Amino acid sequence: MNIQLLGCVELHAADRKLVSISPAVGLLLAALAWSPNIFVSDQDVIDRIWEARPPLHPRNALYTLATRLRKALHTTNAEHGSCEVVRRQSGYVLAVEDETVDTYRFRALARKARSLAFRGEQEAALDLYEEAVAQWHGDPLCGIDATWAEAARATLRHEWRSVLLTSAELGLRLNRHNDYLPQLHDLVALHPHDERAVGLLMLALYQSGRVDEALLCFQTIRGKLIDALGDEPGPELRALHERILLRNQHTPSGPPRLDTLIQEPTGTLSIV
């Protein structure tokens, strides 16, 4: 079974078949699955589902939704473990194996990847980072217009960007720059003032032999930062730009080597 929050809220059976649930039941599923195996009070659930516009009898409505969600869950796990909406005094708990919820899987994979990278197992770490990113199927909690959902989206978007940047950095170190160019282009388009993302894009372009485009990236973010903040890019990005200029002046034609550009004794990219 799979509970999807990283995209539109969906419930999938063990055979990956989509289980049909109403939008209101989906709201309840999201409200409980955001905190699996943790007690959520009736009032908090009501606020998450209806916010400032609750029905006339909100607790009765909540009880009805919980009953419908139980029926939907029972159709998915008759032979594959337990997932229950458990009633506690004045609240509910979604009792479920953590791995059932995609947000848990995403975070667990990212933690394991960081641990492997710390131990120097870069290939294995990159595989797990890519598996973590693959858990995403769109904007988290898509279509849920509520304060708690927007706060959750902001948190998850930040985590996604961090994982994507770290995996791109590993990919560049493993000479897989072409694999990460599209993702870095998209990320810079979404976050044009993110100097870490721009620096990685510059490195990927440089590593691909597209030095002029790498230098243009710097000029583009420099112009945007001056217009928006009245300030220059940070020292790390400026230093990276200078090193690319120097290498471009003294390197013969052909794809440049990343290790000739990055000479950090700590083994980390200078723009991080």
How do beta strands 10-12 and 18-19 pair?
antiparallel
- The residue segments making up the domain with residue 32 are 2-100
Write down which residue in 100, 121, 145 finishes a domain: 100
Single pTM value for the model: 0.83
Write down which residue in 100, 115, 146 finishes a domain: 100
Domain harbouring 43, CATH code: 1.10.10.10
Please check whether residue 85 is in contact with residue 73, taking contact to mean a CB–CB distance below 8 angstroms: yes
Total of domains in the chain: 2
Give the tens place of pLDDT for each residue, 196-225.
Answer: 999 999 999 998 889 999 999 999 999 998
Tokens representing 75 are 């159709």
Answer whether residue 29 is part of any domain: yes
Beta strands in 42-177 (DSSP E): 83-88, 91-96
Higher pLDDT, 57 or 249: 57
Give the tens place of pLDDT for each residue, 38-70.
Answer: 999 999 999 999 998 999 999 999 999 999 999
Same domain? For 93 and 7 the reply is: yes
User: How many residues are given for the chain?
Assistant: 272
Determine the 3-state secondary structure of 192 from DSSP: coil
Answer whether residue 138 is part of any domain: no
Q: What is the structure's pLDDT at 165? A: 93
Answer whether residue 118 is part of any domain: no
Same domain? For 96 and 11 the reply is: yes
Tokens representing 38 are 């943790």
